[in-house]
Amino acid sequence: MLEVNFVKPGKGQALYKCRLKNLIKGTMLDRTYKSGDSLEAADVRTGEGEFLYKDPSGLVFMDQESFEQFTIATDVAGDQARFLQDNAVCVVLFWGELPIGMTAPGQAVMKVTYTESVARGNTTSNLTKPATVENGETVQVPAFVEMGELIRINAQTGEYIERAR
């Protein structure tokens, strides 16, 4: 369920207008439910999966309990896969034995491989500049960050957090 809106018309029963996403097919559905209706809970479970590598079919993980490998399609992972590092432990959503979603770790520590230098004295305001990190992604960083430094990145949003030690 992606979005829920409560609607109370002038007369009659209150309604819930919902926007639902089919996690297997990826399709979107719009449904309206009365205030007294109930929905059956989905038969899903969560588990931990260790990210191993990326291949043409998707992202390959290893189940932390059974040590079996499984693949999650890149489009299912979405933007969270941008800052996924080897051996990162992710929360994986399973429907039966089929992986249908994942949540990446909150932060990633990456090395800055390229960034422009900033002219001295041009630091009176909160300047940012683009920096390329080790996986090829671009992140906006403060002007004081130099090439070769380790930085902490919010893996969900792709924003700079701080320098890493």
In a domain, 69, yes or no: yes
Query: Do 99 and 128 have their domain in common?
Result: no
8: how many CB neighbours lie within 10 A of its CB? 10
Look at residues 64, 86, 103 and tell me which one is the last residue of a structural domain.
Answer: 103
Both 49 and 99 in one domain: the answer is yes
Kindly state whether residues 28 and 54 are assigned to the same domain: no
- Element housing 95 (H / E): strand 89-95
Q: pLDDT at residue 85 above 80?
A: yes
> ∠144-150-153 over CA atoms, to 5°?
90
The model's pLDDT over 28-78, given as tens digits with 9 standing for 90+, comes to: 999 999 988 888 887 888 889 999 998 888 899 998 888 889 898 888 777
Domain containing 143 equals 107-163
Structure tokens at 106: 């909150």
Q: Which CATH number do you get for residue 119?
A: 2.40.50.140
Domain count, the chain: 3
111, 86: one domain: no
* Per-residue confidence band for 120, with pLDDT thresholds at 50, 70 and 90: low
pLDDT (0 to 100) of residue 6: 92
Residue 129 lies in a domain: yes
Please give the pLDDT value at position 122. 56
Whether residue 121 has pLDDT greater than 70: no
Residue 82's pLDDT band, with cuts at 50, 70 and 90, is confident
Domain finish residue from 103, 121, 150: 103
Residue type, 81: A
**Segment 125-139 mean pLDDT:** 85
Instruction: Give the model's pLDDT for residue 9.
Output: 87
In a domain? residue 39: no
